[in-house]
Amino acid sequence: MLLDALEAIGTMTSKRETITYISEHHYFRVVEEDLEPYPSALYPEPRWHVLIAWARKDCVQRGWMFKHDENDCWQITRDGLSILTKSVLKFRDGTWDVRRCYVWTDALKKHFLPTYEPSSKDRQRPRTLYRDIDRQIWKDLFVGL
């Protein structure tokens, strides 16, 4: 989701601009609990914004986004473009299943897999995504990357 948004934006951007793009293109399936801030947050922002920021951190660590010295500079790397392309191919050839991506909207699933149609086979979001967040749930968000 994040890498696709950055590729579409096409230039260095900010967290706010990236989240605005994701929101305007209906990529993240936002529910009520996503809009609440974390109780321990110094700066109250919606939890789904924090998830996107955590995804950025992981992408930087993997070399898929640049780690700019300036604050709030988000930009995809060549390796990020490569993993995005490979990921799209894995969705399209059936290696990965977009139905497992429970925080993705139907619009984003269809973006990655044009033949996608919603069905009862779509994985349901855990009822306690934030209260019970652990490494397995986080890995599921990345679909095994």
pLDDT tens-digit profile of 13-33?
A: 999 999 999 999 999 999 998
Q: Which two tokens stand for residue 58?
A: 């992981």
| Greater pLDDT, 145 or 8 | 8
Q: Nearest CA to 45 among 57, 75, 94, 53? A: 53
pLDDT reported for residue 142: 57
Q: What is the pLDDT at residue 143?
A: 53
Q: What is the DSSP letter of 113?
A: -
Question: What pLDDT, in 10s, does the model give residues 71-115?
Answer: 789 999 999 999 999 999 999 999 999 999 999 999 999 999 999
What is the model's pLDDT at position 135?
Answer: 47
The whole-model pTM stands at 0.84
Percent of the chain with pLDDT over 90: 74
Check residue 41 and give its pLDDT.
72
Report residue 137's pLDDT band, with 50, 70 and 90 as the boundaries.
low
Residue 102 or 136, more confident: 102
Q: List all residues 6 or more positions away from 63 whose beta carbon is below 8 Å from its beta carbon.
A: 77, 79, 80
Q: Where do the structural domains in the chain lie, given as residue ranges?
A: 2-140
Rounded Cα distance, 35 and 38, in Å: 10
Collapse the DSSP code of 13 into the 3-class scheme (helix H, G, I; strand E, B; otherwise coil) and give the result.
strand
pLDDT score of 5:
97
Average pLDDT of the chain is: 89
pLDDT greater than 60 at residue 138? no
* Residue 43: predicted pLDDT: 80
